C-alpha cells in the first residue's frame, strides 16, 4: 500500500502548568454559598495567571474544619507536592472556644510538616468577635503573629480585613463573605502570596 500523502498535524503540546498551590482552610476558603470560581482561592489563581504566574490550584477548604481537621488531612494534601501551602484555619477553633494551646500546636505542626515536605507556607490570621471575652480573644489574636515570627513564615494579619461586620459584603448569616467580600479577601492575600509563587516558579 502506498504511503499516505499529506501531513498530519502533530498533537498540541500540553499546556504548561505552574507550581501547585494548596489552600488548606474552612468555609471561608471553600466559599460557602458561592460558586467555586467566586471563592478567593480561584480569584487569586486567576489574578496570578494574569500576572504571568499560572498555578495549579487545589482548594482544600472544608466547611466547619478546625486546625485538628486540617492537620488530619495534611498528609494526603502533601502527597499533591504543593509548592505553596496557604493555611487558613483556626477560626472554628476560636468560635467553639477550643484550647488555644491545642490550636497553636496544630497550626505549628501543619507549618512544620509542610516545610519539611518542601512547601513554602503562608499563614492567614484571624480575629474573634469581642463577645468571647477579652482574655480569650486577645490570646487568639496573638497566636498567629507569634507562630509566624517563631517559624519564619509570612502572615496575612487578618484574612477578613475590610469584610468582617460589613453587611453588604457578607451573606445573610453575617459571617461568610459574599462574592464581593471574597474579592476583598483575594486582595488581602495577594501581596503575601505572589512573592511565594514567584519564588516557587523560579525554582522549578
In sequence order, which ranges of 31-130 are alpha helices (DSSP H)?
Answer: 40-50, 67-78, 91-95, 100-116
DSSP element (H, E) containing 123: strand 120-124
Question: Rg for the chain (alpha carbons), in Å?
Answer: 20
Residues in the chain: 204
Known catalytic residue: 27? yes
Q: Which of 26, 65, 93, 176 is catalytic?
A: 176
**Catalytic site residue 99?**
no
Report d(CA 64, CA 85) in Å as an integer.
19
Helix (H, G, I), strand (E, B) or coil at 34: coil
Considering the candidates 27, 65, 67, 93, report the single residue annotated as catalytic.
Answer: 27
Q: Tell me whether strands 120-124 and 56-61 are parallel, antiparallel or unpaired.
A: unpaired
Structure-block grid coordinates of residue 83: 509548592
Q: How far apart are CA 59 and CA 61, in angstroms?
A: 6
Q: Known catalytic residue: 173?
A: yes
Q: Name the residues annotated as catalytic.
A: 27, 173, 176
Amino acid at each position: 500500500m502506498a504511503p499516505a500523502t499529506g501531513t498530519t498535524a502533530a498533537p498540541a503540546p500540553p499546556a504548561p502548568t505552574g507550581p501547585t498551590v494548596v489552600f488548606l482552610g474552612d468555609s471561608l476558603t471553600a466559599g460557602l454559598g458561592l460558586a467555586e470560581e467566586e471563592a478567593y482561592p480561584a480569584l487569586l489563581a486567576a489574578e496570578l495567571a494574569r500576572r504571568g504566574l499560572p498555578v495549579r490550584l487545589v482548594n482544600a477548604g472544608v466547611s466547619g474544619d478546625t486546625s485538628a481537621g486540617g492537620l488530619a488531612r495534611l498528609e494526603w494534601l502533601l502527597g499533591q507536592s504543593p509548592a505553596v501551602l496557604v493555611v487558613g484555619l483556626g477560626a472554628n477553633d476560636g468560635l467553639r472556644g477550643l484550647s488555644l494551646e491545642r490550636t497553636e500546636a496544630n497550626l505549628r505542626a501543619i507549618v512544620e510538616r509542610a516545610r519539611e515536605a518542601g512547601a513554602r507556607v503562608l499563614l492567614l490570621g484571624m480575629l474573634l468577635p469581642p463577645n468571647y471575652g477579652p482574655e480569650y480573644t486577645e490570646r487568639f489574636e496573638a497566636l498567629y503573629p507569634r507562630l509566624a515570627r517563631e517559624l519564619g513564615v509570612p502572615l496575612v494579619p487578618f484574612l477578613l480585613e475590610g469584610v468582617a461586620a460589613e453587611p453588604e459584603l457578607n451573606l445573610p448569616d453575617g459571617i461568610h463573605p459574599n462574592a464581593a467580600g471574597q474579592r476583598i479577601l483575594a486582595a488581602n492575600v495577594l501581596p503575601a502570596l505572589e512573592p511565594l509563587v514567584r519564588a516557587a516558579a523560579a525554582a522549578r
